[in-house]
Structures are given as C-alpha cells and as structure tokens.
Amino acid sequence: METQTTTATNWVIDPSHSEVQFKVKHLMVSTVTGLFSQYEGNIETQGDDFDGAKITFSADIASITTGNEQRDGHLKSADFFDAEQFPKLTFTSTEFKKTSDDEYTLVGDLTLRGVTKSVKLKAEYGGQMQDFYGQTKAGFEVAGTIKRKEFGLSWDGVTEAGGVVVSDDVRLVMNIQVTKQA
C-alpha cells in the first residue's frame, strides 16, 4: 500500500492588503488605535489546509503610529516599548487549531520588550481566492486581548481625579492576507 505525503506549503503576508492594529482605552472613556506599518509573517501548512499551520510573525517597533507624533514617540520610548533596546515584536505559534468551518484558535509565544508569554487569539478564516495575476490568496481576521504590564509595558499615569490614563488591556486586531508561494 502506497502512502501519500502532503507537501509543505509556504504563505507570506501581503502587507499591501493587511493591517496590524492595537486598541487601548485612554482615560477609560475612549479608545486609541495604533498600528504597525512594517511587519512580516509566514505560515507553513500541509497542502492548502491551515489546521495545524506553523506561524511566525514580527513587527518593527519603530513603525508604530497612532496618528499623534508625540504619543508615538512616547510609545517608542523606554516608558513603553523601548524600540531602541527591543526593536522587534515577535510571535511564534505553538498551536493553530480549527474549531469550526471558518474559525481557529491560535496559541503562541509573543515577545515584547524581551518578555515572552503564551497568548491565545481567535482567527476567523475568510477563505481563498485567486487574484488577477493567478496568485492564490487567503485571508484571516485575528483578534484577542493581552495585558501590557505582563510584557513590561508598565508605565502608568493617573489623573488628578485618580483616573487611569492607559488601560492594562490591549486588544489586538489583525486583518491578514497571505499569498501562497510557488
């Protein structure tokens, strides 16, 4: 009896059709959205099935933007991300498990400021499609929440009235399109 082997397939993030955002409460009354404009990622699958995929991702801390230059500078400083000493955020999956037709659980090691913690995220699969150039694309929306202080992003400000300036909870929202490599 002949056994059939499945070939590994490599997919890379298409940055022109992806976005990597974070959202955090400011003064506990509004949400500030930031994004990373420079990042890269890779997904390795067996054939075209994403269940059990191996995922790696990194983002350049210096590419943070929130639409406010002063705030961006503060986020890149040693008070928060310390971009000079820790120039990259990295993620390596330990599990990518299909939970329904279009939903996955993504677990992996996130490293920020030299601190590595396991995080659990949800991924919604958007499907696959061929583009005008014959390239196969697939899409995912990935979301979850991390505690910034667990990663050493512990700067705190308190208003005169005793209010918290920046929430500990940071929501991650990533819309990712990947391109199948030949």
- 66: β partners: none
Q: Which residues contact 101 (CB under 8 A, 6 or more apart)?
A: 125
Query: What CATH number is given to the structural domain containing 14?
Result: 2.40.128.110
DSSP-H helix ranges across 5-77: 69-76
The number of domains in the chain is 1
* 2 falls within a domain: no
* 39 falls within a domain: yes
Whole-model pTM: value is 0.89
Structural domain range at position 64: 8-180
- Of 100, 119, 133, 117, the C-alpha closest to 174 is 119
- Rounded-to-integer distance, Cα 156 and Cα 27, Å: 11
* 36 falls within a domain: yes
Q: Which residues contact 67 (CB under 8 A, 6 or more apart)?
A: none
Print pLDDT tens along the chain (182 aa).
555 667 899 999 999 999 999 998 766 667 889 999 999 999 999 988 999 999 999 999 999 999 999 989 989 999 889 999 999 999 999 999 999 999 999 999 999 999 999 999 999 999 999 999 999 999 999 999 999 889 887 766 544 554 445 677 899 999 999 999 98
